[in-house]
Amino acid sequence: MKALVFDASALLALLFGEPGAETVEHLMHRASEKDQPMLISAVNWAEVCYRVEGKRGAEALAQAKEFATNASVVVVPADRELSEAAAAYKAADLLGLADAFAAALAGNRKAELVTADREFKSVESEIKIQWLKNQ
């Protein structure tokens, strides 16, 4: 079964109640029902953590961590293979480094990337993307 890979923007939309939050919630619910893996790279998870703590504080960060655990979002380590795939995206000047990790994870796992970040347009022909509205 095809996994879902979340970019930081997707989880942040959900955690902050931003546009696209309902779509992320729906995708997570559907994935849970179908036992579909939900993944985020360690680099993107770090981005979620520092943004939540910076905007809402340590208690909100603890709640975000608990939510991700309860929702079965798996944080995938940035091993050599993932890092080298991300480096290729970055070297080609297609994506910023954190976004390159999300794209690399989606590509390596042949997964669907969930994002609100339009920077991923540059890799849309290579990776299946579930776009969130970010208006």
Q: What residue spans of the chain are helical by DSSP H?
A: 8-16, 21-33, 42-56, 58-70, 80-91, 97-109
Domain span at 61: 4-131
- Provide φ and ψ at 66, rounded to 5°: -65, -40
pLDDT confidence of residue 114: 97
Extract the tokens encoding 58: 């340590």
Domain count, the chain: 1
Residue 89 belongs to a domain with what CATH number?
Answer: 3.40.50.1010
pTM score > 0.85 for this model?
Answer: yes
pLDDT confidence of residue 51: 97
pLDDT tier, 112 (very low <50, low <70, confident <90, very high otherwise): very high
**Is the pLDDT confidence value at 54 over 60?**
yes
What tens digit of pLDDT does each residue of 5-37 get? 999 999 999 999 999 999 999 999 999 999 999
